[in-house]
Amino acid sequence: MNQLRRLFTVSFVIATYLIVAASCCMAQNTSAQDVPGHYTYQHAFEYNLDGNHFDVHETGIMDFYPDGTALDSARQVYSVTLTDGSMITYVFNYVSPSRWKLEGEDFYFAGIKERFRMDVVEGGDMEPKVAQRIIEVIGGSIDYEYRFHLGTLTDKKLQWSFTYRDGHSDTWEFYKTF
């Protein structure tokens, strides 16, 4: 009876290990063909520039196409605290035709500078130089190819993260709608 129990326990442990190993391999066996689709996202970030502090919240749509192109379009709300302590809010229409590729767990993404648009739709009459500076900075780095870490890729969700030079990380979650 002890041998039977031991045999059962060993068999159970081996079967459990094989199931866990198979599910891990399947989870990491994603490919570029799993990416294309229409996704929605919300994201927030902050930074400092020219002595001003920017809190940014965006709600967007990301379309990934099988040919390695993408279209990122968002409504971005910038709450800017100026050096004198006053605040301004800008709303931008952000449109970035882009290109992408997936290599293992590295997700490469870059905008196409010639086709990038970022237009002020609210608040542009207040401190227009600050709004213009935002557009210059974002537009100036749009074609840099960022290497994101792919965290999740399922039929409903894509999640990637990026670690900045200063060591802090940021994560984006995209939800596939079709």
- 26, 52: one domain: no
Per-residue tokens: 170: 């940021």
- 99, 161: one domain: yes
- 172, 92: one domain: yes
Instruction: Please give the Cα distance from 2 to 7 (Å, whole number).
Output: 8
pLDDT, tens digit, for every residue of 81-126? 999 999 999 999 999 999 999 999 999 999 999 999 999 999 988 8
Give the residue from 152, 64, 47 showing the smallest Cα distance to 101. Answer: 64
84-91 own/partner pairs: CB under 8 Å, 24+ apart: 88/123, 88/126, 88/127, 88/130, 89/122, 89/123, 90/120, 90/122, 90/123, 90/124, 90/130, 90/131, 90/134, 91/120, 91/121, 91/122, 91/123
- pLDDT < 50 positions in the chain: 4-5, 7-27
- 111, 163: one domain: yes
Task: Give the count of alpha carbons within 13 A of 89, CB side only.
Answer: 6
Range list of H helices, the chain? 2-28, 128-141
- 92, 38: one domain: yes
- 55, 110: one domain: yes
* Structural domain range at position 99: 31-176
pLDDT for residue 17: 38
Q: How many domains does the chain have?
A: 2
Query: Residue 78 forms beta bridges with which residues?
Result: 56, 90
- 26, 72: one domain: no
pLDDT for residue 115: 97
- 84, 147: one domain: yes
- 66, 23: one domain: no
- 87, 147: one domain: yes
pLDDT for residue 3: 53
What pTM did the predictor assign?
0.81
- 11, 61: one domain: no
If DSSP codes are grouped into helix, strand and coil, which group holds residue 64? strand
DSSP for 24-57, written as a single string: HHHHH---GGG--EEEEEEEEEEEEETTEEEEEE
Which residues, in sequence order, are CB contacts of 143 under 8 Å at separation 6+? 110, 111, 112, 113, 116
Cα 161–110–160 angle (5° rounding)? 15
- 41, 121: one domain: yes
